[in-house]
Amino acid sequence: MAKKKKVNKEESVKAQFSKVIGTPTAMLLPARNYKFKVYEKDFVITVPRRGNYVDLDDQVFKKEDGDFDFLQYSKSKREHTVYLPALSKVLFGTAQYPDLNDNQAFTPIALIVKKDTVDIVGNLIEMIKED
């Protein structure tokens, strides 16, 4: 019987990550309290519900990027799926990705899926630097 090699847990976790350059999609921050301002007005960005990425912007996307559909239904599993990375990709493709400062974020609070469009409702927040 072969001896099991002892693996350093920290090295094992590092091996699971790969370096990527880009803009992350919807994400969760570490669970702690933050200080930030919330702009009072909700923002609504309307994008197509489904389509082909290259049709949105052939300078940004290639044919291989394929299609998107914000609300996919699987008959076999009887469930709906919202593929979150499509949010950022479609916002870039429709030139509606918010122009934010380094200390700001757009925080989606709802997706309203309609027949042909999706309304992305969210807040603009501004992080407050601790003194």
Q: Does the pLDDT of residue 34 top 70, yes or no? A: yes
Compute the average pLDDT of residues 34-51.
95
What is the DSSP code string of 80-103?
A: EE--THHHHHHHHHTT-S----TT
In a domain, 11, yes or no: no
Domain assignment present for residue 19? The answer is no
Once rounded to an integer, what is the mean pLDDT over residues 24-53?
Answer: 93
| Residue 91 covered by a domain | yes
Question: In terms of residue numbers, what domain contains 100?
Answer: 36-127
Q: Give the pLDDT mean for 114-118.
A: 96
pLDDT confidence band for 1 (50 / 70 / 90): low
Whether 96 is in a domain gets the answer yes
CB neighbourhood size of 113 (10 A): 14
pLDDT of residue 30: 93
CA–CA distance, 114 with 92 (Å, rounded to integer): 20
Q: Tell me: pLDDT of 6 over 70.
A: no
According to the model, what pLDDT value does residue 15 have? Answer: 67
Task: Please tell me the total count of domains within the chain.
Answer: 1
Q: Is residue 27 part of a domain?
A: no
* Confidence at 22, pLDDT banded by 50, 70, 90: confident
Q: For position 23, what pLDDT does the model report?
A: 82
- Is the pLDDT at 9 greater than 70? The verdict is no
> Which spans in the chain are helix H?
9-15, 53-56, 85-93
Is residue 107 one of the residues assigned to a domain?
Answer: yes
Residue 99 inside a domain? The answer is yes
Domain assignment of residue 30, yes or no: no
Q: How confident is the model at residue 14 (pLDDT cuts 50, 70, 90)?
A: low
As a whole number of angstroms, the distance between CA 97 and CA 90 comes to 8
